[in-house]
Amino acid sequence: MTQRAAPPLRRSYRAPGLELAGRRFEWGSRTYVMAIVNVTPDSFSGDGLADDVAAAVALARQFEAAGADILDIGGESTRPGAEPLSPGDEAARVLPALRAIRAATSLPISIDTCHAAVAQAALDAGACVVNDIMGLRSDPDMADVVARSGAALVAMHNQRGRQFHDVAGDIAAGFEASLALAAHAGVDPARIVLDPGFGFGWAPEHNLEMVRRLPELWRFDLPLLIGPSRKSTLGLVLDLPVEERVEGTAAAVALAIAGGADIVRVHDVREMVRVCRVADAIARDNWRPEPG
């Protein structure tokens, strides 16, 4: 007798889903794609659009047509060694593009910033998600901005400048610190997404280990976002430049989905939407052929 394969593991979540800009995100049903719109002149991935608002709008429309679920707009490069921006300069970069994209697309918009003033201005201009690479641990006003606005929050654990002990343990400690700050400010826990911070202060082997150990982070009962797209670790594994890392990104994305990722933050949207569909069909068992 043929034995049926064991069903895939099912994660549990503190909240059944999230409403963003009129769209419903049902955690565990499929993987959602966050598309990167960099309005920076110095992005590590070579896709920075600087102050070209028309190009940012065209890219956002292209991503929407390719199947993106969220647009993540950022104005400050997060590559190691990048010059930090003042909140005023960062806002001057992102707000014109954000307003134009808001008028041109229907997708939810995330603002990628660790400055509370920039987050507030972006939320006022139509964003509904704050993507904070410092997990509320940099600007003391950020948690209050998120709580007052009712925005969704992506809280990353950033390992830069922190002593290393253990990949999953250090991420968990960072998550606990961010969640404590969120709770103190009154942020709705059902509107929080956690990001382990692929590429942010880790050795290459630790980034790879992070993907293998994602299931250890299920205990937080919150959706997980991961962003391995085009990162230098993939370049080291493949010995390839940033523009030739799409296959490496695809492998990392597929394995992260198998490990329980709910959102993947990517540059190559069309390709990664396809990767997600196949990975979901396998890992989440959510696909059936059309009858007939």
- The residues assigned a catalytic role are 231, 265
User: What Cα–Cα distance (Å) separates residue 225 from each residue in 27, 145, 178?
Assistant: 11, 21, 15
Q: CA–CA separation, 55 vs 37, rounded Å?
A: 10
Would the CA dihedral through 190, 37, 52, 142 be positive or negative?
Answer: positive
Rounded to the nearest 5°, which phi and psi values hold at 23?
-110, 145
Q: CA–CA separation, 222 vs 187, rounded Å?
A: 14
Q: Which residues, 6 or more positions from 234, have their beta carbon under 8 angstroms from its beta carbon? A: 228, 240, 245, 248, 249, 252
Q: CA–CA separation, 197 vs 160, rounded Å?
A: 10
Q: CA–CA separation, 19 vs 179, rounded Å?
A: 20
The residues pairing with 33 across neighbouring beta strands, listed in sequence order, are: 264
Q: CA–CA separation, 65 vs 63, rounded Å?
A: 5
Would the CA dihedral through 233, 69, 74, 167 be positive or negative?
Answer: negative
- Candidates 152, 157, 133; CA nearest to 82 is 133
Q: CA–CA separation, 252 vs 158, rounded Å?
A: 19
